[in-house]
Structure 1
Amino acid sequence: MPAPALTIPQLNALDIDAFTQALDGIYEHSPWIAHEAWAQRPFTSLTGLKHALAQVVRQASRDAQLGLIRAHPELAGKAAVAGQLTAESTNEQSKAGLTHCTPDEFARLQQLNADYKDRFGWPFILAVRGPRGAGLSRQQIIDTFARRLRLPADFELAECLRNIHRIAEIRLNDKFGAEPLQGNLVLGWADELAVHSEPPYAEQGQLTVTYLTPAHQAAAAQLVQWMKDDCGFDEVSIDAVGNVVARYHGTDASAPLLLTGSHYDTVRNGGKHDGRLGIFVPMACVRELRRAGKRLKHGMEVVGFAEEEGQRYKATFLGSGALTGDFDPRWLDQVDADGIPMRDAMKAAGHSGDLADIAKLKRDPGHYLGFVEVHIEQGPWLDEIDQPLGVVTAINGSARYTGEVIGLASHAGTTPMDRRKDAAAAVAELVLYVEERAAQDLKASSGPSVGTVGVLNVPGGSINVVPGRCQFTLDLRAPLDHQRDSLAADVEARLAAICARRGVDYTLERTLTAAAAPSNPAWQARWETAVHQLGLPVVKLPSGAGHDAMKLHEVMPQAMLFVRGGNAGISHNPLETITNDDAQLCVDAFMHLLEGL
């Protein structure tokens, strides 16, 4: 029979030696981590224990961190072949199928091990049981190995430590008999919804779901089915713009509702958690409430917004904009890349395409407590500090521009350097200034600014011609409007000065101004309380990306909860990932927030 699961009260009661022995094997051949964490007792939760252990490693010397990494065996390496692994490592490599490699797979892994050791000087570390704890495939392991072999050394060292913490988390789950059931449910929904993708992306195993395509409609239908059959919402429907809307009634029919949700459309070749996590988490909460036969005073309305990314039509936040009464009638006449007007796409999807029907979707803010959204961070901060959850302080305001510098095209060989009117060189100077100026706000109390020149184009450029024209874009963002405006004013002024000094002309058009959306203090505090109840410290950070919450912010209080993304927080990319344990924490935090109402 398996040994009875350890409990947190039992662990808290142990002296330092017994405590260290109880956690033996959690970190490979490294009892010093548990030994140092002992002083932080009492732990209020398994989550708190995991965080404390990770922080011990974060605060350790580089030599100690390297020692921890080097304590781990190679994947399918000599120790594995000789049967010299710890029981924990043997179990993990076995679950990933590394004990049953084909000769070609084994040879490839041996070569990767050698190349990696040559480059970095330590063994490659990967949590081979993966985001769901069930085990990665051998091909996934080999692909990850090859990709990370190209990373910079300092970054790769940190990535090894993050994978060690994931290995430790899974081992702790085993030791404490903890299973993230709702987290597995959320990740399962994410995998199943990702089956719906558009050609030709679907044929390449890529996820692309843009507004009102067949894949988009199939995703909406799947959400409706889950909300009705699996979760037990009282009302589920698809509205006039394709939003999936579900309600779970409260005990007081006159009490205002909590509004939540996120978008289910994706960028092209995107990830499966962006947006969708914010739909799945409240779905999982309603499922648990229904299974427990429980209702809260306030009902909940969960919306899967049909469009947020602006991929098929230039109509970003179309889904949430319909709820705020901000649907632009001109959008109906926009055409996609195939020349299909939005109105026709709506009709083809079974909607009327009638502005009067869309206008009826506008919500009365007086009927709602506010809007909350759970979202993957889409950035590196939480992953870097080994923090699973973060509370959003504000969604950055942004200013976008398209511009062009006009110089004089001339012969690259005969035009002296002091007589050139090089348009591309002027823009290059601007690019460096944008980087420098945004970095000045790195330690701003409100949060850092960012600036990006995402498009550079020399029309008709040639290797032997001084560029006469250079087109560019600007994307400037900051957590506060006045901080964004100061950044924008400085960049505009520097562009004028550069062009005057170089004797070139320019055009600059602002194409978007989006107001910053500071979190409502009361709702932000509710998220902070929910995170604290999990046994975690509260980390606060701004959101550099836009979200549906910033649209709802225009009419009601809003606040967001972030969850860390793996692979350094990458998003809008197939490498976007979260773990089942972190998804479970999202569900638990959301449930705490609901119960706190």
Structure 2
Amino acid sequence: MTTLDHLNTCDTAAFIDTLHGIYEHSPWIPERAAAQRPFTSLSALKLALQDAVVQAGEAGQLSLLRAHPELAGKAAIAGELTAESTGEQAASGLDRCSPEEFALLHRLNAAYNEKFGFPFILAVKGPTGKGLTRQAIIATFERRLKNRRQDELQEALRQVHRIAEIRLNALLGVELAFGPAIMAWAEEIGAISDDEQGLTCAYMTPGHRRTAARLADWMVDAGMDVHIDAVGNVVGRYAAADPNAKTLIAGSHYDTVRNGGKYDGRLGILLPIAIVRELHARGERLPYHLEVIGFAEEEGVRFRSTFLGSHALTGRFDLALLDTRDADGVSMREALQQAGHDPQQIPDIARDPAKLLGYVEVHIEQGPVLLERGLPLGVVTAIAGSSRYLVELLGQASHAGTTPMAMRRDAAAAAAEIVLLVERRCTGQGTLVGTVGQLAVPDGSVNVVPGRCRLSLDIRSATDAERSAAVQDIMDGIASICERRGIEYRTELLVEAEAAPCAPRLMDQLGEAVERAGLPRFDLLSGAGHDAMAMAAVTEVAMLFTRCGNGGISHNPLETMTADDADMAARVLLDFLRSYR
């Protein structure tokens, strides 16, 4: 079995020969990477090979892509693939395509080559390394055909690096300690949904309660003392030898948006469960109590109230929310009682800050920054604050054919101006971003000037002053637009969350663990909200981001990550926990 030590000490020719099958017909890649030896870890070797491709420029990158065979193409049929490609295509059943599937893949290959000028490349062993289905491969093929050329060039290269990663693992006999279990658990609870068409797990639905029960089972199996509290948080405690020790909390949320992804929030619960299972198997205790908490609600889907789970833990749960009702008229109080919880016990969940050491959350990035830099992990510097509003515009519905343009009180036209106002105000302004994610013309008709319109506003920034200034300017702009157009309006504040900086000392400890894993430390801002924002009210917080595939998309069924990245994040977090000071 080849070892990293052998690769570090053999001569250059042997190094190139040993790695000849890692990148398809491209020995120049290990040749260029050889100069960076010795590698302190497999991760460092992977990055060196990746850097060789980056430094080759587009001409070298295109030669690499064009060295790859088409999926189920002529070379595969003729048995002319490399041994590596043959095994990979067979793992996904591409050697067993039906005549219809072969014909479709032939058409897709032709269309792809014509549009992009290089073959379609996909790591067919997939995120877990076990292989994608033919149906998933075809769906990915069809989706990526819609990409712009530069975007697809980068995606094809990322797939090449993923293929290389899987091949390197096989060459060196790497067995992932944590990643496979984390991915399998995510698949299992990802199949529990309120909606048959996708993953939706809203607060206190039957699917939500089943998910909580499964998380509790895994925590028990990992060696933790477990309970589900009055707000629905799943709490697993791995006690220190000293009963008077303080507590470090790791966790995230297990509810989802509608038709969401499998890893958002849930990664931050499953990953520390896997770590505790390892500690328990070794008989190893930490010098502090470690709690893994699956927060019951963060997304605000059912009752339009976010961070219910973490707010309960910090003593900031607003009991007035118990009377809010969902779309079916069920109150939060009733939903909790139906699930067997006593809402009056929610205040008892609050923790004493003096007994807490801190809070750490592992989360997929939900964006493309790490992906574009080819890095599996990043240390979060701060979580952007957020201001969210609903805006209702009231004009005058009138006949589309008989109402002169100058006499219209068109609510949708006013909404259009507001959308552009938000875009204009939030572009090129530091960390500021602004989004109108909901836009509706209730009871609209093709031949009626819209008399009513509803839209949402979401304004975020890493600094509260920058965000507040933008919100004020946008509100002033809405007032001006509506006055000019004769539109009445009202705004409703949904969320006002302050920015939450991460604790520098915890960031440094995470960064040191990342570097000990053979990766460069990379710091980045979180534009998305997380339970760490709520936890920052009572203790120091830190966050570790993992790379998010498919262009960084999240809150979407296409949300993805790999078992290798999950494994790396788990090893870094375990190192952080063992080295905590």
Normalising TM by the smaller chain, what interval? Answer: over 0.9
Q: Per the alignment, do residues 344 and 468 of structure 1 end up closer, same or farther by CA in structure 2, a change over 3 Å counting?
A: closer
Query: Which one-letter code corresponds to 1:222 in the other structure?
Result: R
SS in 2 for 1:337: coil
**Aligned equivalent of 1:591, options 547, 562, 574:** 574
Q: Per the alignment, do residues 180 and 404 of structure 1 end up closer, same or farther by CA in structure 2, a change over 3 Å counting?
A: same
Taking the TM superposition and a 5 Å limit, the aligned residue runs for 1:339-488 are 339-353=329-343, 355=344, 357-409=345-397, 412-413=400-401, 417=405, 420-441=408-429, 444=430, 448-488=431-471
**Aligned equivalent of 2:493, options 510, 516, 520:** 510
Q: CA deviation at 1:42?
A: 2.4
Task: Find the aligned partners of 1:241 and 1:13 in 2 and give their Cα distance.
Answer: 57
Task: Find the aligned partners of 2:494 and 2:187 in 1 and give their Cα distance.
Answer: 36
Which residue of 1 is the match for residue 200 of structure 2?
A: 208
Which residue of 2 is the match for residue 219 of structure 1?
A: 211
Task: Find the aligned partners of 1:180 and 1:473 in 2 and give their Cα distance.
Answer: 43
Query: Which one-letter code corresponds to 2:215 in the other structure?
Result: L
Which residue of 2 is the match for residue 232 of structure 1?
A: 223
Query: Which one-letter code corresponds to 2:211 in the other structure?
Result: A
Which residue of 2 is the match for residue 5 of structure 1?
A: 2
Task: Find the aligned partners of 1:397 and 1:574 in 2 and give their Cα distance.
Answer: 26
**Aligned equivalent of 1:138, options 134, 140, 160:** 134
Say whether the 8 Å CA contact 1:323–1:363 is kept in structure 2: yes
Task: Find the aligned partners of 2:405 and 2:334 in 1 and give their Cα distance.
Answer: 55
Taking the TM superposition and a 5 Å limit, the aligned residue runs for 1:62-141 are 62-141=58-137
Q: CA deviation at 1:578?
A: 1.1
Indicate yes or no: 2:529 matched with 1:546: yes
Which residue of 2 is the match for residue 46 of structure 1?
A: 42
Q: CA deviation at 1:469?
A: 3.9
Task: Find the aligned partners of 1:412 and 1:348 in 2 and give their Cα distance.
Answer: 49
- Indicate the percent of aligned positions where both proteins have the same amino acid: 56
Which residue of 2 is the match for residue 532 of structure 1?
A: 515
Q: CA deviation at 1:457?
A: 2.6
Query: Which one-letter code corresponds to 1:580 in the other structure?
Result: A
Considering only aligned residues, what root-mean-square deviation do their CA atoms show, in Å? 1.9
Which residue of 2 is the match for residue 17 of structure 1?
A: 13
Q: CA deviation at 1:265?
A: 1.4
Which residue of 1 is the match for residue 555 of structure 2?
A: 572
Task: Find the aligned partners of 1:213 and 1:578 in 2 and give their Cα distance.
Answer: 27
Task: Find the aligned partners of 1:540 and 1:165 in 2 and give their Cα distance.
Answer: 23
Indicate yes or no: 2:280 matched with 1:290: yes
SS in 1 for 2:420: helix
Say whether the 8 Å CA contact 1:421–1:502 is kept in structure 2: yes
Task: Find the aligned partners of 2:160 and 2:331 in 1 and give their Cα distance.
Answer: 51
Q: Where do 5+ consecutive residues of structure 2 fail to align?
A: none
Q: CA deviation at 1:421?
A: 4.4
Q: CA deviation at 1:249?
A: 1.2
Task: Find the aligned partners of 1:236 and 1:395 in 2 and give their Cα distance.
Answer: 29
SS in 2 for 1:258: strand
TM-score by length of 2: 0.95
Say whether the 8 Å CA contact 1:183–1:583 is kept in structure 2: yes
Task: Find the aligned partners of 1:386 and 1:23 in 2 and give their Cα distance.
Answer: 20
**Aligned equivalent of 1:278, options 255, 268, 279:** 268
Query: Which one-letter code corresponds to 2:391 in the other structure?
Result: G
Task: Find the aligned partners of 1:489 and 1:177 in 2 and give their Cα distance.
Answer: 58
Indicate yes or no: 2:25 matched with 1:29: yes
**Aligned equivalent of 1:322, options 312, 320, 331:** 312
Q: Return 103-112 or 465-474, whichever deviates more.
A: 465-474
Task: Find the aligned partners of 1:377 and 1:394 in 2 and give their Cα distance.
Answer: 13
Which residue of 1 is the match for residue 247 of structure 2?
A: 257
Q: CA deviation at 1:506?
A: 3.8
**Aligned equivalent of 2:476, options 493, 496, 504:** 493
Query: Which one-letter code corresponds to 1:578 in the other structure?
Result: M
Say whether the 8 Å CA contact 1:197–1:209 is kept in structure 2: yes
SS in 1 for 2:185: helix
Which residue of 2 is the match for residue 179 of structure 1?
A: 175
Indicate yes or no: 2:544 matched with 1:561: yes
**Aligned equivalent of 2:54, options 55, 58, 74:** 58
Q: Per the alignment, do residues 459 and 336 of structure 1 end up closer, same or farther by CA in structure 2, a change over 3 Å counting?
A: closer
Q: Per the alignment, do residues 422 and 97 of structure 1 end up closer, same or farther by CA in structure 2, a change over 3 Å counting?
A: same
Say whether the 8 Å CA contact 1:55–1:386 is kept in structure 2: no
SS in 1 for 2:237: strand
Indicate yes or no: 2:321 matched with 1:331: yes
Q: CA deviation at 1:488?
A: 1.4
Which residue of 1 is the match for residue 291 of structure 2?
A: 301
Task: Find the aligned partners of 1:460 and 1:25 in 2 and give their Cα distance.
Answer: 61
Total equivalences in the alignment? 580
Q: CA deviation at 1:86?
A: 0.9
Q: Return 208-217 or 14-23, whichever deviates more.
A: 14-23
- Give deviations 1:292-335, integer Å, cap 9, x for gaps: 11112112011111111112222311111110111111222222
Q: CA deviation at 1:123?
A: 0.8
SS in 1 for 2:349: coil
